[in-house]
């Protein structure tokens, strides 16, 4: 992989910051548009905070990428284009193909701060003058490990007003939600900013046993409901089985995960696939919300079900009963599904792919996507093959398939990932869908799905 170009990236970022600072006194209306996930919501909050500091009035919108930009923006942009306006897009993708033609016709300034891969970037030499486009992936940064959406939003906001550092905990929620790794695995700007915020004591960094999803729990429930890692032979299993494992090893089942002694941690690490690592605590929050990963996961869960409750919980110290129920439903089901995948559900393996038919009640359709994702990040199946997980969707009578690959897969396949395979499938079998390198999905007719299953290796 080509080396990241810090200089060029920072030049672009600073240019956007300078323009914003120079023109902000002219902006009488600012609009923020962000993504409906933990990273998007924390990016939004960071930008909102800097706008408050600048006394700039603003509106915000959450985009879930289910409609085209032109349809979406029709409902947001004022009829007559105003020179004194600014729009800031954070973490909502870099669909220049759709956005540039719209932006060209407008008089407002547009700031796009994004860390998703850009399709066909080189075709866009002509970025309009009113567009400040900042995307580190163009300069060979990895949008997951190196820089989260919230890291980019933080860098933008903090350069404008250094006191934004005290909202750094928002950044950490975004990083935890997007990177799906322990904090010692962070790289580049994610790492740099993490350390800066930690040194300022806005968050607390700790080392311990990593059982993400259940770091706030007792070790018994931690092992049972951990989703990252999925602990083999323990996660998703019965209380009795887990208690037996713990008492055999002289560990009190009701001891909190974060209170385990290092000898106890070593013991668990040596006997399972769990490992030690760093995690972040948010000192101004309580209970489950004081754990950055769990807080982020909760926002991700709520974003899909009830976006207004996600937006309100990020402001609160304590979790609501409603959100807590959602959270527990989610991790209980997910840990069980992951166990089923690794033990009970048959797979069909070809040279390059693995098919799992999750239909007929094996896994509820609303869980297919997340089960596939966590199956892949946990490397539950052969990480050198692409995963196709799904089944018949009753309402459409189509096969709905979630497609995933691991980072390891991308490395050994020259970065050709899920989105490119989906494009090939659509070209020859039809269907609807899309995605990015690691994750995507497609709906296919039953005959097309059967053809795909028979000839899948030809699509790579
Ligand atoms: Mn993101």
Shared domain check, 159 and 83: yes
| Cα-to-centroid distance, 179 and ligand 1 (Å) | 9
Is 188 among the domain residues?
Answer: no
Average pLDDT of the chain is 94
| Cα-to-centroid distance, 35 and ligand 1 (Å) | 8
Position 443 scores a pLDDT of 94
Q: What's the CA gap between 221 and 243, in Å, rounded?
A: 10
Is 440 among the domain residues?
Answer: yes
More confident: 64 or 33: 33
Q: What's the CA gap between 183 and 176, in Å, rounded?
A: 8
The answer to whether residues 90 and 47 touch, using CB atoms and an 8 Å cutoff, is yes
Q: Check whether 34 has a pLDDT greater than 70.
A: yes
| Cα-to-centroid distance, 159 and ligand 1 (Å) | 20
Is 285 among the domain residues?
Answer: yes
Is 100 among the domain residues?
Answer: yes
The pLDDT confidence band at residue 66, using thresholds 50, 70 and 90, is: confident
Cis peptide before 229 (omega within 30 of 0): yes
Shared domain check, 447 and 316: no
| Cα-to-centroid distance, 174 and ligand 1 (Å) | 7
Shared domain check, 19 and 133: yes
Q: Check whether 342 has a pLDDT greater than 80.
A: yes
Position 375 scores a pLDDT of 96
Of 127, 144, 179, the residue that ends a domain is: 179
Is 411 among the domain residues?
Answer: yes
| Cα-to-centroid distance, 72 and ligand 1 (Å) | 20
Produce one character per residue of 332-364: b if its CB has 16 or more CB atoms within 10 Å, e if not. ebbbbbbbbbbeeeebeebebbbbbbbbeeebe
| Cα-to-centroid distance, 263 and ligand 1 (Å) | 37
Task: Return the number of other C-beta atoms located less than 10 Å from residue 457's C-beta.
Answer: 10
Q: What's the CA gap between 37 and 39, in Å, rounded?
A: 6
Shared domain check, 152 and 12: yes
Shared domain check, 227 and 100: no
Position 125 scores a pLDDT of 67
| Cα-to-centroid distance, 91 and ligand 1 (Å) | 5
Q: Which domain holds residue 116?
A: 6-179
| Cα-to-centroid distance, 337 and ligand 1 (Å) | 25
| Cα-to-centroid distance, 112 and ligand 1 (Å) | 13
Question: What confidence tens digit (pLDDT) does each residue in 142-176 have?
Answer: 988 999 999 999 999 999 999 999 999 999 999 99
Shared domain check, 249 and 133: no
Q: What's the CA gap between 384 and 350, in Å, rounded?
A: 11
| Cα-to-centroid distance, 115 and ligand 1 (Å) | 7
Q: Check whether 28 has a pLDDT greater than 80.
A: yes
Number of domains in the chain: 3
Shared domain check, 131 and 13: yes
Average pLDDT over residues 267-291: 98
- 3-class SS letters over 361-429: CCCCHHHHHHHHHHHHHCCCCCCCCEEEEEEEECCCCEEEEEEECCHHHHHHCCCCCHHHHHHHHHHHH
Position 39 scores a pLDDT of 96
Position 124 scores a pLDDT of 61
Is 193 among the domain residues?
Answer: no
The answer to whether residues 428 and 320 touch, using CB atoms and an 8 Å cutoff, is no
Average pLDDT over residues 92-119: 92
Shared domain check, 408 and 350: yes
More confident: 195 or 360: 195
| Cα-to-centroid distance, 284 and ligand 1 (Å) | 24
- Tokens of residue 161, six digits: 């007003």
Position 432 scores a pLDDT of 87
| Cα-to-centroid distance, 345 and ligand 1 (Å) | 32
Beta bridge partners of 85: 29
Shared domain check, 126 and 46: yes
| Cα-to-centroid distance, 374 and ligand 1 (Å) | 17
Q: Check whether 123 has a pLDDT greater than 70.
A: no
Best mean pLDDT range from 82-86, 91-95, 347-351: 347-351
**CATH for 150:** 3.90.1640.30
Question: Between the CA atoms of 390, 396, 398 and 404, what dihedral angle is there, to the nearest 10 degrees?
Answer: -30
| Cα-to-centroid distance, 149 and ligand 1 (Å) | 5
Average pLDDT over residues 78-96: 89
Position 395 scores a pLDDT of 87
Shared domain check, 273 and 328: yes
Q: What is the helix (H) or strand (E) element at residue 446, kind and residue range? A: helix 446-455
The pLDDT confidence band at residue 81, using thresholds 50, 70 and 90, is: confident
| Cα-to-centroid distance, 36 and ligand 1 (Å) | 9
Position 1 scores a pLDDT of 62
Of 237-246, 284-293, 311-320, 416-425, the least confident: 416-425
Q: Check whether 252 has a pLDDT greater than 80.
A: yes
Is 60 among the domain residues?
Answer: yes
- Tokens of residue 437, six digits: 């390198």
| Cα-to-centroid distance, 177 and ligand 1 (Å) | 8
Shared domain check, 380 and 435: yes
| Cα-to-centroid distance, 68 and ligand 1 (Å) | 19
| Cα-to-centroid distance, 116 and ligand 1 (Å) | 7
| Cα-to-centroid distance, 40 and ligand 1 (Å) | 6
| Cα-to-centroid distance, 270 and ligand 1 (Å) | 34
| Cα-to-centroid distance, 255 and ligand 1 (Å) | 34
Shared domain check, 220 and 129: no
| Cα-to-centroid distance, 209 and ligand 1 (Å) | 26
Question: What confidence tens digit (pLDDT) does each residue in 176-193 have?
Answer: 999 999 999 999 999 999
| Cα-to-centroid distance, 58 and ligand 1 (Å) | 22
| Cα-to-centroid distance, 301 and ligand 1 (Å) | 15
Of 130, 163, 179, the residue that ends a domain is: 179
Is 449 among the domain residues?
Answer: yes
| Cα-to-centroid distance, 246 and ligand 1 (Å) | 37
**CATH for 356:** 3.10.310.40
Strand 347-349 and strand 353-357: the pairing is antiparallel
Q: What's the CA gap between 439 and 406, in Å, rounded?
A: 9
CA distances from 421 to 61, 96, 195, 324 (A): 32, 22, 38, 38
Position 335 scores a pLDDT of 96
| Cα-to-centroid distance, 23 and ligand 1 (Å) | 27
pTM above 0.85, yes or no: yes
* CA-CA-CA-CA torsion sign (370, 376, 377, 380): positive
Q: Check whether 255 has a pLDDT greater than 90.
A: yes
Of 337, 364, 386, the residue that ends a domain is: 337
| Cα-to-centroid distance, 375 and ligand 1 (Å) | 20
């Amino acid at each position: 992989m080509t080396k990241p170009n810090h200089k060029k990236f920072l030049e672009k970022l600073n240019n956007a910051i300078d323009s914003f600072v120079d023109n902000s006194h002219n902006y009488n209306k600012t609009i923020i548009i962000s993504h409906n996930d933990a990273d998007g919501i924390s990016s939004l909050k960071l930008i909102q905070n800097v706008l408050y500091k600048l006394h700039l009035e603003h509106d915000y919108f959450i985009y879930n990428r289910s409609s085209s930009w032109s349809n979406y923006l029709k409902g947001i942009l004022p009829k007559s284009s105003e020179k004194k306006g600014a729009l800031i897009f954070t973490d909502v993708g870099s669909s220049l193909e759709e956005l540039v033609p719209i932006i060209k016709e407008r008089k407002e300034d547009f700031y796009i701060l994004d860390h998703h891969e850009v399709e066909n970037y080189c075709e866009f030499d002509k970025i309009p003058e009113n567009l400040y486009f900042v995307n580190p992936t163009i300069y060979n940064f990895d949008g997951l490990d190196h820089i989260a959406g919230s890291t980019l939003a933080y860098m933008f906001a903090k350069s404008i007003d250094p006191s934004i550092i005290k909202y750094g905990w928002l950044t950490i929620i975004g990083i935890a939600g997007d990177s799906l790794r322990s904090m010692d695995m962070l790289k580049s700007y994610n790492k740099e900013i993490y350390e800066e915020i930690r040194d300022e004591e806005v968050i607390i960094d700790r080392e311990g046993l990593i059982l993400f999803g259940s770091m706030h729990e007792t070790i018994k429930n931690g092992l049972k409901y951990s989703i990252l890692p999925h602990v083999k032979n323990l996660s998703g299993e019965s209380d009795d089985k887990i208690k037996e494992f713990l008492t055999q090893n002289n560990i009190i089942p009701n001891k909190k995960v974060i209170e385990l002694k290092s000898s106890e941690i070593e013991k668990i690490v040596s006997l399972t696939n769990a490992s030690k690592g760093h995690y972040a605590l948010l000192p101004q929050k309580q209970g489950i919300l004081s754990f950055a990963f769990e807080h982020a996961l909760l926002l991700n869960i709520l974003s899909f079900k009830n976006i207004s409750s996600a937006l309100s919980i990020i402001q609160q110290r304590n979790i609501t009963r409603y959100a807590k129920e959602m959270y527990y439903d989610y991790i209980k089901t997910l840990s069980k599904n992951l166990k089923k995948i690794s033990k009970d559900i048959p797979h069909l393996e070809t040279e390059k792919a693995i098919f799992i038919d999750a239909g007929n009640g094996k896994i509820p359709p609303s869980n297919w996507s997340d089960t596939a994702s966590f199956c892949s990040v946990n490397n539950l199946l052969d990480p050198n093959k692409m995963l196709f997980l799904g089944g018949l969707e009753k309402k459409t009578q189509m096969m709905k398939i979630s497609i995933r690959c691991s980072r390891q897969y991308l490395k050994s396949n020259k970065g050709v990932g899920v989105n490119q395979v989906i494009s090939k499938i659509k070209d020859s079998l039809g269907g609807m869908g899309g995605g990015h390198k690691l994750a995507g999905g497609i709906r296919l007719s039953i005959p097309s799905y059967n053809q795909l299953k028979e000839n899948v290796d030809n699509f790579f």
